[in-house]
């Protein structure tokens, strides 16, 4: 808040001070507004992207990221490109905060202008230089307690050299490493094992078509399993000819199998009651199942204090209407077990 009254926009006359604030106190200026500067740091990610993938194959590097930027748990922005070309040989893919990713893009654009355009010495930055620069930037920002909340994959191919034929990783702490398969976000847990099994040891044999099938299958699995993912994504290919990013691709998905999963929809839930020694112990359990939306409970085991003829395969129907939900549950239980 600005505590200086003369900065509040009050009308005043330089000859006559109608508000009795003479002499006019001027707001001190130190070249930087401490109040404004203190709120510029990202305290936590707000609009975020999820998994990104990268693999090596025979002719280059292939990367993928979906087009969703989530506002918390809301799938807010569905057309965000999280792949970015850097120069002629490199592509980066980012998960994490999208505003910080935009800042990284601006920083990289400035580096390219200074290194490739201004100097004009015919030197082009490759993936090794971009990865090293990002690692220094991320560690420096982390050391200032103002981290860029991103995990970034760097893929590139330059001059056909094996050292420049790489995919690398850097995160908000400045942690870096290289590997033939990489994933960030939820993909580090779900897609990484799939990529390792399909790629490692076959980097010099995989064709571009095979690599694309691996990427698409991994993105499909992530869409099924990751609540912050989308079935629309882009694929980047980096080869000796250069870097290209595809148009958005929409995967065909199938959800009919969910009807056969117990616990989904109106499927019957089975509860083993062998450990219950009193009829009253069932009531809290039924309350829990009803609050979760289950339609019926099927009991297979007999209560020790009940006759086998009345306790086997007994069903408690929890859909009985009543003004008081508690009476509806109790009534259904007493009816089924009396």
Longest dimension (CA), the chain: 103
Q: Which of 42, 176, 250, 268 is catalytic?
A: 42
Give the β-pairing of 269-271 and 296-299.
Answer: parallel
The two three-digit tokens of residue 102, written as one number: 């935009």
Going by C-beta distance under 8 Å and a sequence separation of 6 or more, which residues neighbour residue 142?
A: 172, 173, 174
Q: Residue 44: helix, strand or coil by DSSP?
A: coil
Is 250 in the active site?
Answer: no
3-state helix, strand, coil in the chain (%, to 5): 35, 25, 45
The tokens 């090596």 sit on which residue?
A: 56
If one counts every other C-beta atom within 10 angstroms of the C-beta of residue 66, the result is: 28
Q: What is the C-alpha separation between 284 and 276, in angstroms, rounded?
A: 12
**CA distance linking residue 55 with residue 157, whole number of Å:** 13
Give CA–CA dist 131/304, Å, rounded. Answer: 68
- In total, the chain counts a number of residues equal to 338
DSSP 128-187: HHHHHHHHHHHHHHHHTT----EEEEEEE--TT-STTSEEEEEETT--EEE-SEEE-TTH
Number of Cβ within a 10 Å radius of residue 145 = 7
Tell me which residues are annotated as active site: 42
């Amino acid at each position: 808040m600005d505590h200086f009254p003369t900065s509040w926009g009050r009308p005043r006359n330089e000859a006559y001070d109608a508000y009795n604030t003479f002499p006019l106190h001027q707001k001190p200026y130190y070249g930087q507004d401490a109040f404004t500067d203190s709120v510029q740091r990202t305290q936590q990610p707000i609009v975020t992207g999820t998994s990104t993938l990268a693999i090596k194959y025979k002719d280059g590097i292939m990367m993928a990221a979906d087009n969703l930027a989530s506002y918390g748990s809301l799938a807010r922005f569905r057309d965000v490109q999280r792949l970015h070309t850097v120069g002629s040989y490199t592509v980066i893919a980012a998960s994490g905060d999208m505003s910080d990713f935009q800042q990284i893009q601006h920083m990289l654009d400035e580096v390219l202008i200074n290194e490739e355009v201004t100097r004009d010495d015919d030197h082009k930055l490759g993936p090794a230089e971009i990865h090293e620069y990002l690692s220094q930037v991320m560690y420096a920002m982390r050391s200032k307690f103002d981290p860029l909340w991103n995990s970034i994959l760097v893929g590139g191919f330059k001059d056909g050299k094996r050292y420049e034929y790489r995919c690398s990783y850097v995160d908000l702490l400045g942690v870096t490493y290289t590997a033939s398969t990489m994933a960030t976000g939820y993909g580090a847990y779900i897609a990484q094992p799939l990529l390792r099994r399909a790629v490692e040891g076959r980097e010099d044999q995989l064709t571009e078509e095979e690599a694309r099938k691996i990427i698409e299958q991994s993105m499909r699995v992530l869409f099924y399993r990751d609540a912050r993912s989308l079935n629309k994504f882009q694929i980047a290919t980096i080869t000796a000819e250069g870097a290209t990013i595809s148009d958005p691709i929409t995967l065909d998905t199938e959800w009919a199998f969910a009807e056969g999963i117990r616990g989904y929809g109106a499927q019957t839930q089975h509860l083993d009651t062998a450990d219950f020694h009193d009829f009253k112990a069932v009531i809290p359990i039924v309350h829990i199942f009803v609050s979760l939306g289950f339609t019926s409970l099927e009991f297979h085991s007999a209560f020790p204090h009940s006759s086998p003829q009345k306790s086997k395969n007994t069903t408690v129907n929890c859909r009985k209407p009543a003004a008081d939900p508690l009476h509806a549950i109790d009534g259904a239980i007493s009816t089924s077990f009396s």
